[in-house]
Amino acid sequence: MPEKFEIKSGLRNYEVCWVKDCVAAIGDQRSSRSFLVIDEDLPTSGKISKLFSKDRVIRLKADEKTKTFDSCSELIRQLVDRNVRRNEIIFAVGGGVIEDVVAFVSTVLFRGVEWVFIPTTLLAQADSCIGSKSSINFGVYKNLLGSFYPPSKVLIAPNFLNTLPADELRSGMGEILHFYLVAGEVKMASQLKKQHRELLKDPSGFKPYILASLKIKKSVIQRDEFDKGERNLFNYGHTFGHAIESVTNYRINHGQAVTMGMDIANFISWRRGHIKEEVFNYLHGLIAFNLPEFRLDPKNWAKYLQALSKDKKNVGKSLGCILTRRPGKMFKAQLPLDQRLGKDILSYFD
C-alpha cells in the first residue's frame, strides 16, 4: 500500500494521503475560502487554528453531546452566520466525533459541501476515516441518524498519535485486530500482539498496522459501500461489544469492547458448533492482550441481553450478529434472544 491511495466511491472518489507534518499539509491545502472545525482539546489545536483566519475557526468539544442532531443544527448556524458558501471546504481535525458532525453537516449543507478529514486518533486513522459513514445521536437514541458522505481527501499524520492516552491507542488496536480477523490476516494480528507494549510507548510504529487495516477496509467498501452485504461482516465483534459499552455506560472504550465482542462471538461460534474449542482458544490467545478489564456480573445478564435486544440490526425478536467459521470466514447469523443465548453469554463470563 503506497503512501497515497484512492478510494472508489459511488458518491465521489477520494484520496488518502500519509503526511509527515499535518500543519504543513493543512497549510498547503487550505485557502481563504476554507473553514476549520477542530477538537478544542487537541494539543496542536492552536498551531493548526493559526492557519485559518479567526472567524473561520470553530472549536468543538469532542463528546457525545456534540454528536447530536441539535448540535449539528448549531454548527450549521455558525457556518451560515459566517457566510459559508457552497464552494467552500470544511477541514475537520479530530477523532470520530468531529468526523461524524462535520460529515453529517457537509452532507446536508447546500446538498453537499466538500470536506477534508484529518483524523487524530488511532481509531479514526485506521478505520473510520474511510467508508463514508457518519452517525449522529437523536435525543436519547444513539446513532439513530447518519449519512454516507465521504470527504474529498483524508490526510493521515502520525504525529497526532504521540499525544494520545494509552486508552485511545488500545481502542484503536481493538478495531485494527477486528479487521485482521475478518480478513484472515492472523500474521498481522500476531505481530501486533507481539509489538503492542512497544507501540504503546512509541506509537510511530503503528504505520504498517494502520495501512494494513485500511487496505482491508478499502477492498470491502469499494465492493459494498452502502453496507448491503459483505460490509456487514465488519459488524463482527460490534454487536456484543456495543452491549458491553451500553451496560458499562461507555466506561470501556469502543475498541476494547469490540475485542471482547469478538471473543464472545467466537465463544458462541464454538458453542454452536461452527468452530472447535482449539480454534476458540487460539483466537482468544491472539486477542486477549487487548481485552478490557470487565466481567459481567451474573446479576446483570438480563440487562446485557436487553442491550443486545435493542441492536439496530435485529429482525423481530432475533439478534443479528456476525459469527465465525475461521479467521477470514465470518458469517451473518440470526440468534433468537432466548435462554440459550443468555446461558451462552453467562458461561462466557463464568
Q: State the nearest-atom distance from the C-beta of 110 to a copy of itself, in Å.
A: 7
Interaction of residue 224 with a copy of itself, rule CB under 8 A: no
Count of beta carbons in the 10 Å neighbourhood of residue 8 = 12
Instruction: Copy the grid coordinates of residue 102.
Output: 462535520
Instruction: Copy the grid coordinates of residue 57.
Output: 475557526
Q: Which amino acid is at 74?
A: E
Q: Which amino acid is at 198?
A: E
Closest CA to 3 of 208, 143, 284, 269: 208
Mask: binding to a copy of itself, 77-106, rule CB under 8 A, as x and -? x--x-----xx----------------x--
- Which of 51, 109, 169, 345 forms a contact with a copy of itself (CB under 8 A)? 109
Single out the segment in contact with a copy of itself by CB under 8 A; choices: 6-14, 190-198, 246-254, 293-301: 6-14
Mask: binding to a copy of itself, 172-211, rule CB under 8 A, as x and -? ----------------------------------------
Q: Hey, which residues between 115 and 134 contact a copy of itself (CB under 8 A)?
A: 133-134
Q: State the nearest-atom distance from the C-beta of 334 to a copy of itself, in Å.
A: 13
Q: How far apart are CA 42 and CA 38, in angstroms?
A: 8
**Who contacts 232 (Cβ-Cβ below 8 Å, separation ≥6)?**
313, 322, 332
Pairing outcome for strands 34-39 and 57-60: parallel
Q: How far apart are CA 101 and CA 37, in angstroms?
A: 9
Decide whether 106 or 213 has the Cβ nearer to a copy of itself: 106
Q: State the nearest-atom distance from the C-beta of 321 to a copy of itself, in Å.
A: 16
Mask: binding to a copy of itself, 293-322, rule CB under 8 A, as x and -? -------------------x--x-------
